Structure 1
Amino acid sequence: MFNTILVPVDPGETSFSTPALETAARFARDYDGKVRLVAVLAHTQGFVASYLPEDFEKTAVAETRNLLEDLAKGLGLPEGSVSVAVRLGSVYHEVIEEAEAAKADLIVMGSHKPALSTYLIGSNAAHIVRHAPCSVMVLRPNKG
């Protein structure tokens, strides 16, 4: 049913992704599927980049890849059934592009509790749900 499950991970808040990671791992075991973790980093704008070390973006990508690989090891899935990707750009656009590139059957992701600003300008989760090429499961944080 789910051959490839994509899980977007915020590298600055990895604990927020824990329910999505656990759910994706469970589906991968149940359906003999694969999990792909993706993190999206913002492009460093030219003005800001001029104040940062020359290899700042390259280092950030490498550190984020290592973080995703550590999360992948913690899923308890067989070797070769978890892959990782780090992309640069806007979150919802890059997640959708990664879902298409990976031929994902399902995106499993967390979402913060909606706030007034979310209703006015939208959220990454809302954009992904509307434009994803596959099913999307959005997990809300536990109450309390």
Structure 2
Amino acid sequence: MFNKIMVPVDLSHAGKLTKALDCAGRLAKQFGAEAVYVGVSAAAPSSVAHSPEEYAEKLDAFAAEQAKAHGISASGHSVISHDPSADLDPALLKAVEETGADLVVMASHVPNITDYIWPSNGGTIATHAKASVFVVRG
């Protein structure tokens, strides 16, 4: 049913993504699909990595850990942005196309009042992506 599952991750908050990561891993295993873990980072040094190359290495290592934990095929796909917080949605939409994903599994927060002013990342991706989108709360 699905061949490639894109999973957006924020490596600085990976511990808060457990439910979405488990869901993506189980779906990838069930469908024999490849999981592609996508991370968006700035070129400038951050708390996660000092360079885009180091960020890509850490994302690949994260993908390898997920592959081992779930018994699936996985890879990392890093996207470098001048302002990841402002460019996140367009960067993720572009990554859907670049990776050839036919399903996106992503974590989201419980909706609150600010979602009436600023749309959630999950909502934006679900509205504009050509792939199916599974938004996992919690």
- Using structure 2 for the length normalisation, give the TM-score: 0.82
Q: Which residue of 2 aligns with 1:85?
A: 77
Q: Which residue of 1 aligns with 2:137?
A: 140
1:106-127 deviation digits (Å, cap 9, x = unpaired): 0000001222122211121111
Letter aligned with residue 88 of structure 2: V
Q: Which residue of 1 aligns with 2:40?
A: 40
Structure 2: which 5+ residue stretches go unaligned?
Answer: 82-86
After superposition, residues 22-41 of structure 1 pair within 5 angstroms as: 22-41=22-41
1:89-114 deviation digits (Å, cap 9, x = unpaired): 31111111111111111000000122
Give the RMSD, CA atoms, in angstroms. Answer: 2.0
Matched residue of 1:85: which SS?
Answer: strand
After superposition, residues 1-144 of structure 1 pair within 5 angstroms as: 1-42=1-42, 56=45, 59-75=50-66, 76=68, 77-78=71-72, 81-89=73-81, 90-141=87-138
Tell me how far apart the structure 2 counterparts of residues 8 and 116 of structure 1 sit (CA, whole Å). 24
Letter aligned with residue 59 of structure 1: H
Structure 1: which 5+ residue stretches go unaligned?
Answer: 45-55
Identity, % of aligned positions: 32
Tell me how far apart the structure 2 counterparts of residues 134 and 72 of structure 1 sit (CA, whole Å). 21
Task: Tell me how many residue pairs correspond in the alignment.
Answer: 128
Tell me how far apart the structure 1 counterparts of residues 18 and 58 of structure 2 sit (CA, whole Å). 13
Q: Which is higher, the Rg of structure 1 or of structure 2?
A: 1
Tell me how far apart the structure 1 counterparts of residues 29 and 11 of structure 2 sit (CA, whole Å). 25
Tell me how far apart the structure 2 counterparts of residues 2 and 84 of structure 1 sit (CA, whole Å). 18
Conserved? CA contact 2:64–2:75, under 8 Å:
no
Conserved? CA contact 1:11–1:64, under 8 Å:
no
Matched residue of 2:125: which SS?
Answer: helix
Conserved? CA contact 1:8–1:39, under 8 Å:
yes
